[in-house]
Amino acid sequence: MNLLLATLAAPLATAAIGAIPGPRRPKEAVLLGGLGATFILALATAGRFLAGETPAAFSGALRVDGLSALVLVLTAFVGLLSGLYSVGYLERNERAGFVSAKRRTELLALVPAYVAAMLLVAVSNNLGVLWIAVEATTLASVFLVAFHNRDTSLEAAWKFLVLGSVGLAFALLGTVLLFASGQGVLGQDMSALDWTRLLAHAGDLHPFTVKLAVVFALVGYATKAGLAPMHTWKPDAYREAPSPAGVLMAVGMMNCSLYALLRVHLVSKAALGPEFSGRLLLGLGLASVLVATPFILVQWNLKRLLAYSSVEHVGIMAVGFGLGGEAAAFGALLHMAYHTFAKPVAFFSAGTLAQLHGSSDFDAIGGGTLGRTPVASGLLLLATLMVTGSPPFGLFWSEMTILKAGFLGPHLAVIALFLAALVVLFCGFFYQVGRLVLGEGPGLVLGEGPGLVLGPDAGTPGRPVRPERLDLAMGTTLVAAVVAVVSSFYLPGSLIALIRAAVRVVEAGT
């Protein structure tokens, strides 16, 4: 059987089995086995690619080039982490009596379904298939956002679906217009929407129609990626989604939306020159970084804080791709890889804190969590170091690569503004997490004397904190942390080869 199809079938089958009600243990084993197999198959597919083959299926509608292989591997990796954490998450909620059997089935089916849809995005060569896959990710994830069925979850799910659907309608219009622009040269078959063919005949496409198509498609997929000003669904959805789903949205979906953006950008680059869509991406990316700044400074919720950090990072990557040039593209793709390794640690440790303290609002958790839940707090602190791009961790190097490419390029003012915003974001994120983890909390304000201040962040004392245990969720967080730290200093040669191959796709289209 075709290896590529097997990679897509594995999570799909896992989702189908997950949807059948049944006893907990075997179903969890199926989830882990399925997602583990998916990861191995994705690695094998990427290995085939590195060996010089071009895995493809359905007469080229699905095709693995360097960019696909990179996104495929990263997505399957996050899918496996999310599966592991899901099992631990359910176990904890089971103990606390939060989640019914029906909800459990929902999670066990939707997580692999979401992964399957994302993997399909990653290997789509046909822009029509790409659109269908992105829509499928939206439909698979909306009930994950509504998972807890609170008032706020419904609100978040509604915003997520309506905004996402408008974005996707725009992307569909863009796809249709691209199809229209190639009518004369590419014909009316399915293959007229193949990215490879569009790219090969880019010079013959009707220029104005391509322009219109690119605007609609970029805005549409940027909505899914959460680039400002279409990012407003993100903080709500991240706060409400359970952590294992949150990490899939924040890392997997972000990478896949960037993949879609890049495919459109590259067609536009070949047809209209690098300026048009490059400037659009640069503008959207800069707007995202700027918009995230004030919201991080005044944030009141840990998971929303992570959402704005995700708006920041997708902005950084968009700036990298928008700048153009090999160095900037390399920086942006390296950023994608490092972000994929670092963000799960932040999400998982934040999720653990939220579960142990019963809320993810700063006020409800209270300051000084390091004293009460040391392991999760320590991991969150480590994740903060990595996610904010502190040296010596990976995101620092990738941000530096992008900045260097930017300062050597023509957009100096933009890059200066970008750098300023990054510095403020760095401080803001540290301030928020520092306040939470190291600040004075209910346990530390027992001293006496006039010097004692009960700060506004003293929290609500008396809320019982569940003790930390080394369960599967915590174990997953630790593994993710080890991967993130090690990857900062040592990237396996094959991963670097994949990134280089992806750079080649972005720069040369092959």
Partner 1 sequence: MIQDFVLLCAAGMLVSIYLMVGQKALVVAIRLYGLQSLLLGAVGVAMGLAEHRTHLFVTAGLTVALKGIVIPLFLLRVIDRVGIRREIEPYLNVPASLLLCLGLTVVGYRVSLGMAGASQGVPHQVVGVALSMVLIGLLLMVTRRKAITQILALLTIENAVFLVAVGATAGMPLVVELGVSFDVILAVLVLGVLVNRIVDRFESMDTSRLSNLKG
DSSP per position, 74-94: HHHHHHHHHHHHHHHHHHHHH
362 binds partner 1 (CB under 8 A): no
* Minimum distance from residue 294 beta carbon to partner 1 (Å): 10
In the block, residue with structure tokens 């309506």: 162
Segment near partner 1 (CB under 8 A); pick from 129-137, 223-231, 256-264, 401-409: 129-137
217 binds partner 1 (CB under 8 A): no
161 binds partner 1 (CB under 8 A): yes
325 three-class SS: coil
Contact 48, 6 (CB under 8 A): no
Structure tokens at 287: 């707007």
**Total number of residues binding partner 1 (CB under 8 A)?**
55
391 binds partner 1 (CB under 8 A): no
13 binds partner 1 (CB under 8 A): no
Residues 411-470 that bind partner 1 (CB under 8 A): none
Smallest CA-to-CA distance from 85 within 32, 39, 41 is with: 32
Residues 304-323 that bind partner 1 (CB under 8 A): 304
Residues 226-285 that bind partner 1 (CB under 8 A): 235-236, 239
Give the separation between CA 119 and CA 135, rounded to whole angstroms.
Answer: 13
The one-letter code for the residue type at 244 is P
Supply the DSSP symbol for 19: T
**Largest Cα–Cα separation, the chain:** 83
> Which of residues 24, 148, 159, 404 is near partner 1 by CB under 8 A?
159
Residues 166-185 that bind partner 1 (CB under 8 A): 166, 169-170, 172-173, 176-177, 179-181, 183-184
Q: HSE, CB side, 13 Å, CA atoms: give it for residue 260.
A: 37
In sign, the C-alpha dihedral spanning 503, 258, 75, 58 is negative
- Nearer to partner 1 by C-beta: 93 or 232? 232
The residues, any chain, with a CB within 8 Å of residue 368's CB and separated by 6 or more, are: 437, 438, 439, 440, 441, 442, 443, 444
Q: How many Cβ atoms from other residues are within 10 Å of residue 467's Cβ?
A: 8
> Which of residues 20, 29, 101, 162 is near partner 1 by CB under 8 A?
162
201 binds partner 1 (CB under 8 A): no
Segment near partner 1 (CB under 8 A); pick from 93-101, 127-135, 255-263, 345-353: 127-135
Segment near partner 1 (CB under 8 A); pick from 33-41, 153-161, 372-380, 386-394: 153-161
Site for partner 1, rule CB under 8 A: 126, 128-129, 131-132, 135-136, 138-139, 142-143, 146, 149, 151-152, 154-159, 161-162, 165-166, 169-170, 172-173, 176-177, 179-181, 183-184, 188-190, 192-193, 206, 208-209, 211-212, 235-236, 239, 295, 298-301, 304
